[in-house]
Chain A
Amino acid sequence: MSGIVLHDIQKSFGATKVLRGVSLSVAQGEFLSLVGPSGCGKTTLMRIIAGLEAVSSGAVQIAGRDVTALRAADRDVAMVFQNYALYPHLTVRQNIGVPLMMRRLSAAERIPFIGGLLPGVAEKQRTINADVANAAEMLGIGKLMDRKPAQLSGGQRQRVALGRAIVRHPMAFLMDEPLSNLDAALRVTTRSEIVALHRRVGASTVYVTHDQSEAMTMSDRVAVMMDGLILQVGTPEDIYTNPQDLRVAAFIGSPSINMLAAEVAPDGHVTVGPVPVGVGASGHGPAILAIRPEDIAPHATGIAARIEHQEYLGESLLVHARVLDSGEQVICRLPPEKRRQVARGETVHLRPDPAKALLFDGDGRRLGSRVLSLEDAHG
């Protein structure tokens, strides 16, 4: 059974098209990240899944049920908001208990004071309190139950927000940049805690972020969005090593991928400037050769470039160079011990690893390529 399925979702605000036909399916229990630059429509897409925003066209299914016309309350999804959106006037215990109270008690039973006198309410209230205590225990916030949100730190509020989401075992979890208000150290630890929590709870999770490192480290699969479209969905490894669109290649990875203007000769050999790079492609004409910083290195022969700048990171060395012919900037990630072998101002010959080189056409679409031995290229 599928967790969340989106069919050709379109959304316009007035004349602005925010989503231009998004289809996506999230498997039961899968952790999927929606990643993209701000304004790409990822938050709108999440709000559509949650039922906070209506679609202009398309359909949303959750657990095999068409929920497109249902309001948020009836969709059985839980959401963690960027600013946590805790109820400021309620204690932590009440905050976490709200979704249970709204679902398990009838309208009459929820009336303050009077509701509590109805038969069976005390019993229901007990099970709610027990479930709330369980959720709080899971998140390690059992000691904060009687505080108000204003008395909590950012990390604690975030846990309360998570508690409010997991307490009712929803079909799907939606998280909208839940870590962006935490400091850097807390963000890294909370990252793994959320992943562990997801494994325990096992609900399909959609996680919106603009931070590619969150998307890459936490997800089963990553969906890269840009300009209202999903460009590619795949495992983090797939997205990194095998991007199908130049924009995906450029967005994922830090420092970002190197892009060099290339030419496919009529015989299928790819050259950067005058230099053959050992890659073959079908068709011919201008193309873009994209290569990750760790897949290009100085070599005896290759693309001539001048070293402009070095960054020593401890575990690696980033060398910034400028291609002599075209003036394009290239960054190489080298082992740190190479530090003494390259010097600023020096000219080196850079050789991309042909097996890792990615070729794109002028529109940014991926081209099929194959490795050629350099001898072939010269022949």
Chain B
Amino acid sequence: MQSRPLILDLPRLALLSLAAFVVLAPYIWMVAVSVKPQDEVFKASLSLIPQKWALVENYGKVLATIPIWTYIVNGLIVCFGILFFQILFAVPAAYALAKLNFRGRELVFGFVMLGLLVPYQTTALPLYLGIHQLGLLNSYTALIAPFTCSVFAIFLFRQFFRAIPDDLINAARIDGMGEFSIVWRVVLPNALPAATAFAIFSVVAHWNDLFWPLIVIQKGDLYTPAMGILAFRSVEAGEDYGALMAAALLVTAPLVLAFLLAQRRFIEGITMTGLKG
């Protein structure tokens, strides 16, 4: 590609930077507050750099007050547990809906679409009662199980799988693969962009979820990160904003890091679909 003189790109860059700043401002402010001492937080002046650094105090207070690492580990177990089962169940289902011919396929897909319309809060009460009766409250199972069948994942993958050529699947059949081998060895590897996109949706949603964990978890050692912040807030009576922001930063850091690392892979995944095999 021909490189254009920078001057022509400047207006566009300026506009994009402004938009990026608007989006990032709260986060940047959070980072700034997390290193400020209590008295500087409420100052009228808008300064990002604190006059007196309170990094050690704020973060130290978080680490001393709540077991934040336990919460983060809980969050990882729950998010990846959910993602694992969602992929395990949704990918074969989506493959069947996209590529296999069977009686009632359209009906089943109709139910999937119907499922998309139901907000998960509506099913929370019956799910809670069910889990309570099974005696599974306060367990990883209670956090993971309700989300393992994602109709959104089935829908997303089904749309993506329809674009995979039938002959590729036929070739796999002739090469000796059964339907499950086809799903995991041919279809999923060729749907990595969809899988990546879905993984982002899923992990973000469940990492930040507060609603369901609050319902099924009472014991502190099973708290998820979002619950951890809440716990910290109530312990601290919501006064110490510096420490609170430090806690929030620690909780969001794994996500931010994961995205920075996966960014390239994600873009590669998307460009790969432009090529034909």
For window 60-91 of chain A, which residues contact chain B by CB distance below 8 Å? 71-73, 77-79, 81-83, 85-89
Q: Check B175–A164 contact: CB distance below 8 A.
A: yes
| A-binding segment of B106-114, B176-184, B201-209, B237-245 | B176-184
A105-135 vs B: 1/0 string, CB under 8 Å? 0000000000000000000000000000000
* Complex interface: chain A residues within 8 A of B276 (CB): 88, 150
How many chain A residues touch B (CB < 8 A): the figure is: 26
Q: How far is the CB of A175 from chain B (nearest CB, A)?
A: 12
Q: Check A81–B170 contact: CB distance below 8 A.
A: yes
| B-binding segment of A34-42, A96-104, A186-194 | A96-104
- How many chain B residues sit at the interface, stated as a range, is 20 to 34
* Bound-state Cα–Cα, A221 to B234, Å: 86
* Bound-state Cα–Cα, A73 to B170, Å: 10
Name the residue on A nearest B189 (C-beta): A89
Given contacts A52-B173, A72-B174, A102-B176, contact A150 B167 (CB under 8 A): no
10 closest A-B pairs (Cβ-Cβ)? A88-B277, A102-B176, A85-B171, A150-B275, A85-B167, A72-B173, A89-B189, A99-B175, A73-B176, A149-B277
Q: Does B159 count as interface, using CB distance less than 8 angstroms? A: no
* Complex interface: chain B residues within 8 A of A279 (CB): none
Q: Check B174–A79 contact: CB distance below 8 A.
A: yes
Q: Does B190 count as interface, using CB distance less than 8 angstroms? A: yes
Name the residue on A nearest B192 (C-beta): A89
Q: Check B174–A50 contact: CB distance below 8 A.
A: yes
Q: How far is the CB of A181 from chain B (nearest CB, A)?
A: 11
Q: How far is the CB of A179 from chain B (nearest CB, A)?
A: 16
Q: Does B186 count as interface, using CB distance less than 8 angstroms? A: yes
List, sorted by A's number, 20 A–B pairs whose CB atoms are closer than 8 Å. A52-B170, A77-B174, A79-B174, A85-B165, A85-B168, A85-B170, A85-B171, A87-B189, A88-B190, A88-B272, A88-B275, A88-B276, A89-B190, A98-B175, A98-B176, A102-B175, A102-B177, A103-B176, A150-B276, A150-B277
Q: Check B167–A87 contact: CB distance below 8 A.
A: no
Q: How far is the CB of A84 from chain B (nearest CB, A)?
A: 8
Q: How far is the CB of A169 from chain B (nearest CB, A)?
A: 13
* Bound-state Cα–Cα, A89 to B193, Å: 12
Contacts A86-B277, A87-B168, A102-B175 aside, 10 further interface pairs with beta carbons under 8 A come to A50-B170, A72-B174, A78-B174, A79-B174, A85-B170, A87-B186, A87-B277, A89-B192, A98-B176, A150-B275
For window 113-144 of chain B, which residues contact chain A by CB distance below 8 Å? none
For window 143-173 of chain B, which residues contact chain A by CB distance below 8 Å? 165, 167-168, 170-173
* Bound-state Cα–Cα, A81 to B172, Å: 11
* Complex interface: chain B residues within 8 A of A85 (CB): 165, 167-168, 170-171
Name the residue on B nearest A86 (C-beta): B277
For window 217-266 of chain B, which residues contact chain A by CB distance below 8 Å? none
Q: How far is the CB of A369 from chain B (nearest CB, A)?
A: 46
* Bound-state Cα–Cα, A77 to B177, Å: 13
* Bound-state Cα–Cα, A164 to B168, Å: 13
Name the residue on A nearest B177 (C-beta): A102
A99 interface neighbour in B165, B176, B189, B275, Cβ under 8 Å: B176
For window 277-313 of chain A, which residues contact chain B by CB distance below 8 Å? none
Q: Check A81–B173 contact: CB distance below 8 A.
A: no
* Complex interface: chain B residues within 8 A of A149 (CB): 277
* Bound-state Cα–Cα, A164 to B176, Å: 12
Q: How far is the CB of A211 from chain B (nearest CB, A)?
A: 19
Q: How far is the CB of A98 from chain B (nearest CB, A)?
A: 5
Q: How far is the CB of B87 from chain A (nearest CB, A)?
A: 16
Name the residue on B nearest A99 (C-beta): B175
* Bound-state Cα–Cα, A72 to B175, Å: 8
Q: Check A83–B175 contact: CB distance below 8 A.
A: no
Q: How far is the CB of A182 from chain B (nearest CB, A)?
A: 16
* Complex interface: chain B residues within 8 A of A81 (CB): 167, 170-171
Q: Check A83–B167 contact: CB distance below 8 A.
A: yes
* Bound-state Cα–Cα, A82 to B165, Å: 12
* Bound-state Cα–Cα, A363 to B46, Å: 95
Q: How far is the CB of A93 from chain B (nearest CB, A)?
A: 14
Name the residue on B nearest A82 (C-beta): B167
* Complex interface: chain A residues within 8 A of B277 (CB): 86-88, 148-150
* Bound-state Cα–Cα, A99 to B176, Å: 6
* Complex interface: chain A residues within 8 A of B168 (CB): 85, 87-88
* Complex interface: chain B residues within 8 A of A78 (CB): 174
Name the residue on A nearest B273 (C-beta): A88
Q: How far is the CB of B162 from chain A (nearest CB, A)?
A: 16
* Complex interface: chain B residues within 8 A of A88 (CB): 168, 190, 272, 275-277
* Complex interface: chain A residues within 8 A of B181 (CB): 102
Q: Check A73–B275 contact: CB distance below 8 A.
A: no
* Complex interface: chain A residues within 8 A of B186 (CB): 87
* Bound-state Cα–Cα, A79 to B175, Å: 9
Task: Point out which of B171, B173, B181, B186 has the most chain A C-beta atoms below 10 A from its C-beta.
Answer: B171
Q: How far is the CB of A109 from chain B (nearest CB, A)?
A: 13
* Complex interface: chain A residues within 8 A of B165 (CB): 83, 85
Given contacts A86-B277, A88-B275, A89-B190, contact A71 B173 (CB under 8 A): yes
* Complex interface: chain B residues within 8 A of A87 (CB): 168, 171-172, 186, 189-190, 277
* Complex interface: chain A residues within 8 A of B178 (CB): 73
* Bound-state Cα–Cα, A103 to B178, Å: 11
Name the residue on A nearest B186 (C-beta): A87
* Complex interface: chain A residues within 8 A of B190 (CB): 87-89
Q: How far is the CB of B172 from chain A (nearest CB, A)?
A: 8
Q: How far is the CB of A151 from chain B (nearest CB, A)?
A: 9
Q: How far is the CB of A173 from chain B (nearest CB, A)?
A: 11
